Structure 1
Amino acid sequence: MLICVSTYRLHGNSEGRKKSVARAFHLLLPAVIFLLVCIGTNAQVENTEVPGPSLSQGDKYDAPDKPESDSVFDMIVSLPRQSASIYSVLNQIGGQVGYFFVYDTEIVDSDQRIRIRAGNKPVSLWLEEVLDDPSLDYRIIEQHILIYRPDIEVPEYSIAGKEEAPAKEEVVIVRGRVLDEETRDPLSFATVGIKGGSIGIISNSDGFFSLRVPPGYADRDISVTHLGYRTRTLPVRVFSDNRVDILMKTEYISIPEVMIRYFDPNGIVRSAISRIDHNYSNKPVYMLNFYREGVMRGSRFINYSEAFFQVYKSPHHNRFEQDQVKLLQSRSISNIDRSDTLILKIRAGIKSSLELDFIKNVPDFLNPEFLYEYKFTRSDIVAFDGRMAYGVAFEQREHINEPLFKGVLYIDIESLAFLGAEFEVNPKYISKAHERFIARRNRDYRATIDKAHYTVSYRYHDGFYYLNHVRADLHLRYRRRFSLFGSNYHVFVEMANSRIDTGDVERFRRREALRTDRVFMDGGHAYDSDFWDGYSIIPPEKRITDALANIESRIERVVAGSD
């Protein structure tokens, strides 16, 4: 079965519109399931979709000087009369004493509203009143106050927050969920990793994550980052035998008052198109990229691959010169069990990722010849990767009933460079796009495409913008003929750039270049256990552009070894 996830259309001047080109993936569907096959490693992908407790962190503030730990609960805190949630009251207490509260949401209902009278009381008495549960106890761990039940095993720490020397160091599993502090919505693509280290993971679509922390890192801190939110840092020890919900606070970038918020979206898009040659390099470059692809059935991986590539990126203006890929390191995992009645493998995922570069492979919504098919509207002036940008929404016009794209373009205010885009096949017409995605069918099954979503971003380097990150997600449902029930599948490919080299750039020799139109995980590529040791498998929703910071040093060794 052939599945296409990139549907940029090609048009012919004399022949009119041609059918969409199948540029993206192929899914191979054997009818029979065999034994579990693990390529390169016998590592298993952990199920990260698990319920979690809560890390309550209040507004960012200048913390007062830390008191001695044994005196924290005796500190006097002043609170006004109020009706508020437990979460809000704990934040007020923590703000005055300079500590954050950590607790399990199965123990503490942080959304429960309570009434308190104004007063000046020690922290210990406020906690008794607010929590109203004599079975709870409290412990200081660095700048955090852990709320727990004594019957639940909690590792012992000295009052200063230093861990008692264990008899034997063991791997610590850090589990939790990342949520928006105000809406409590899950945050996908949040990066969770050892601060200053090379170990990291990313939250999935429901905000869940699971990170294996090797022995020797128990005294380190966990850093949680997400685009548009303030970074959170907390000790590894907080997670020991606990699952926590990490509440992230939005980070706002102020817009100068003199900025005129109105703009003409059509004019901005046309101006940005006219400046492509000025903003994007006309010379080839080498890129060091991290790549991954995977297929999930429900919340479980069917297969997953990740790799480091060196990419020969051809100039954007040369539409006929293809990009090239040289494989540096890779690993693949197959996770099939007897309940699976279909096996899907991604074909041409690497090629698809490269072709999502919409500056080089121009889609309809940026092709001057077909802009009339789209309606461009002002979204807002937004912050995009630290730059102020015009947000321009686009969607096909009402009289066009083909499955075209809709989404948002981000255009730099100063340079008018395309910084990125988020778009999808119009959900209103996606049912008409099945033939574009599925070219080879299994007659025993019926497939339904639910969603096809794409993100692309560019970054500035030495005077020009270059492709930085691409991702394609395809959500589909398979149902056996004459059956009322089916299974949900999620197919994704993603590539992120770590480094750009502009000097002495030449095309790779043919024997060095990887075939990008094949099933990557079936390539039989060598697995280097020394290189991958200590890296957790990355859930599909992890934002790898952030995760690259955690593995930069090892990437450098890969490059040095390939020279």
Structure 2
Amino acid sequence: MKPLHFFYFKRNLTMFLVFTLLLSVNQTIYSQDTKELNNHYNQYKGKVIDQNSKKPLVLATLSIRGTNITTVTNAEGKFLLKVPKNINESNVVISSLGYENKEISLRQLKASKNNIGLEVHITELSEINIETIKNASELVRETLKKKGENYFSDPTLMTAFYRETIKKRKKNISLSEAVVNIYKAPYKSQKRDKLKLYKSRKSSNYKKLDTLALKLQGGPFNTVYLDIMKYPEYIFTDGLLNDYVFRLDHSTKINNRLIYVINFEQKEDVKKPLYKGQLFIDAEKKILTSAIYSLNITDKKEAARILVRKKPTRADVWPKEVAYRVDYLEKNNKWYYGYSKLLLEFKVNWDYKLFNSVYSMVCEMAVTDWEKNINESVPKYKDRIKPSIIMIEKSIGFSDPNFWGAYNIIEPDKSINFAIKKIQKQLKKAKLKRTALAK
């Protein structure tokens, strides 16, 4: 099984940078152009919640009907949606796994403090439906075979927002964000997707790492490769399918479609680390609409061998949790990759320390717009993001509120905002100290 991502551990940061390939990116901030763009866009902020419990709904999708404009809510259920001013008569469709869709007019939205509640939707299966999917394994196989029929069959150019965070326990260490162009190959094609970095920024505070530097190799590719329907070889090859047990859990409705929720896990006699989780499959057309799953890390040594590429000589590094999610969106009866998220949590046991250290890394990508790639253009090789990318270290962009301009992004969580402010203060102090020394 080919690993999707690798972690690098090195106690000496200077030595680490020698052995790590970094991507050089021109990060000039086009503030003037950005402000002009903002004059042509309306911005809406708010929160999506469970109508009854009032709990925030994470990863709820907001789409402008009749367009390809989309965004998703963050870990607190908050959203930020940017819409061209010439689109003012359209509706916003709000959807979330297991909830009834809601559609409201753009004119009903305020610039901020919108509170949108969704109702839970659970559908009881009839005897006919239960009989139809008695063989859950065959349902999954049929779904995978229909990718050329149900998913985008044209080359597509997508605009996506990528975020990558690293934490030591609950303290933020590093935050990277980027706007990425995805040159998406048709789902029935064997061609792989190409990525180009359009705009990015990063802030880091490595003092909190206690001289241990963690790097996530792969960057945006980690999230793109979670597109199961495009890259089934990473989880459901024909051979690997036989190593899983598939069972019907329940049904629900998403976008007014009957969805079967299929549980899967590796068979007891299979020893290699595989995955377990849930697949959300359209009952009528056999379409994978979402998947939520995790890596089996019962065998810690084997899981560490897959995930950890380098580590300090006097430490053991063990994965604690490796979780994934991918969601698909639909337009004109064709489905496409819309969102994915990867969570990795590691524990580091030092030979000479009484207490261990726990680190977590999260990366997520949301497609916010797309168009057909009519000319099937792809970026030049020198301009492409490489699968070996490690997001750039430069601290730039966070002081500019207009950095993203008209691009839809995922709203930062409070914890991320807090981390950014702390990093900015530290950078300011360091700058003042350098100025004082220079005098």
Q: TM-score range by the shorter chain?
A: 0.5 to 0.7
Asked if the contact 2:161/2:178 (under 8 Å) is kept, the reply is: yes
Residue 522 of structure 1 corresponds to which residue in structure 2? 393
* Residue 531 (str. 1) matches residue 403 (str. 2): yes
| Inter-partner Cα distance in structure 2 for 1:386 and 1:29 | 50
- Structure 1 residues 477, 289: closer, same or farther in 2, change over 3 A? same
Residue 437 of structure 1 corresponds to which residue in structure 2? 307
- Once the two structures are superposed, residues 271-327 of structure 1 have per-residue CA deviations (whole angstroms, 9 ceiling, x without a partner) of 2223222112343211111111111112221111111111101233333x3321222
| Bigger relative contact order (CA 8 A; separation at least 6) | 2
| Secondary structure of 1:439 counterpart | strand
Amino acid aligned to 2:129:
I
* Residue 449 (str. 1) matches residue 319 (str. 2): yes
Residue 351 of structure 1 corresponds to which residue in structure 2? 221
Amino acid aligned to 2:370:
I
Residue 338 of structure 2 corresponds to which residue in structure 1? 468
* Residue 286 (str. 1) matches residue 157 (str. 2): yes
Q: Which of the pair is proportionally richer in strand?
A: 2
| Inter-partner Cα distance in structure 1 for 2:5 and 2:357 | 22
Asked if the contact 2:60/2:77 (under 8 Å) is kept, the reply is: no
| Inter-partner Cα distance in structure 2 for 1:225 and 1:452 | 26
Deviation for aligned residue 1:533: 7.5
Asked if the contact 2:6/2:309 (under 8 Å) is kept, the reply is: no
Deviation for aligned residue 1:340: 3.1
| Inter-partner Cα distance in structure 1 for 2:365 and 2:7 | 18
Residue 391 of structure 1 corresponds to which residue in structure 2? 261
| Secondary structure of 1:389 counterpart | strand
| Inter-partner Cα distance in structure 1 for 2:13 and 2:178 | 28
| Secondary structure of 1:531 counterpart | coil
Larger radius of gyration: 1
* Residue 251 (str. 1) matches residue 125 (str. 2): no
Amino acid aligned to 1:374:
Y
Asked if the contact 2:50/2:117 (under 8 Å) is kept, the reply is: yes
Asked if the contact 2:58/2:77 (under 8 Å) is kept, the reply is: no
TM-score (norm 1): 0.54
| Inter-partner Cα distance in structure 2 for 1:540 and 1:384 | 29
- Structure 1 residues 324, 391: closer, same or farther in 2, change over 3 A? same
| Inter-partner Cα distance in structure 2 for 1:381 and 1:176 | 26
Deviation for aligned residue 1:399: 1.1
Backbone CA RMSD of aligned residues: 4.3
Asked if the contact 1:419/1:457 (under 8 Å) is kept, the reply is: yes
- Once the two structures are superposed, residues 132-187 of structure 1 have per-residue CA deviations (whole angstroms, 9 ceiling, x without a partner) of xxxxxxxxxxxxxxxxxxxxxxxxxxxxxxxxxxxxxxxxxx999978955x9x75
Residue 288 of structure 2 corresponds to which residue in structure 1? 418
| Secondary structure of 1:468 counterpart | strand
| Inter-partner Cα distance in structure 1 for 2:387 and 2:410 | 25
Residue 481 of structure 1 corresponds to which residue in structure 2? 351
- Structure 1 residues 312, 254: closer, same or farther in 2, change over 3 A? same
Residue 189 of structure 1 corresponds to which residue in structure 2? 58
* Residue 493 (str. 1) matches residue 367 (str. 2): no
| Inter-partner Cα distance in structure 1 for 2:169 and 2:79 | 17
| Secondary structure of 1:433 counterpart | helix
- Structure 1 residues 385, 436: closer, same or farther in 2, change over 3 A? farther
Deviation for aligned residue 1:188: 6.7
Asked if the contact 2:5/2:216 (under 8 Å) is kept, the reply is: no
Residue 363 of structure 1 corresponds to which residue in structure 2? 233
| Secondary structure of 1:415 counterpart | coil
Amino acid aligned to 2:196:
K
Residue 182 of structure 2 corresponds to which residue in structure 1? 311
* Residue 26 (str. 1) matches residue 11 (str. 2): no
Residue 329 of structure 1 corresponds to which residue in structure 2? 199
Amino acid aligned to 2:121:
Y
Deviation for aligned residue 1:464: 2.3
Deviation for aligned residue 1:454: 0.7
Residue 377 of structure 1 corresponds to which residue in structure 2? 247
Deviation for aligned residue 1:530: 3.0
* Residue 513 (str. 1) matches residue 384 (str. 2): yes
Deviation for aligned residue 1:514: 2.8
- Structure 1 residues 354, 191: closer, same or farther in 2, change over 3 A? closer
| Inter-partner Cα distance in structure 2 for 1:330 and 1:344 | 19
Deviation for aligned residue 1:431: 4.7
| Inter-partner Cα distance in structure 1 for 2:242 and 2:415 | 35
| Secondary structure of 1:317 counterpart | coil
Asked if the contact 1:177/1:203 (under 8 Å) is kept, the reply is: no
Deviation for aligned residue 1:32: 5.5
Deviation for aligned residue 1:378: 0.9
Residue 559 of structure 1 corresponds to which residue in structure 2? none
| Secondary structure of 2:189 counterpart | coil
| Alignment match of 1:274 (pick from 131, 145, 163) | 145
Amino acid aligned to 1:447:
V
| Inter-partner Cα distance in structure 2 for 1:349 and 1:382 | 33
Count of aligned residue pairs for this structure pair: 359
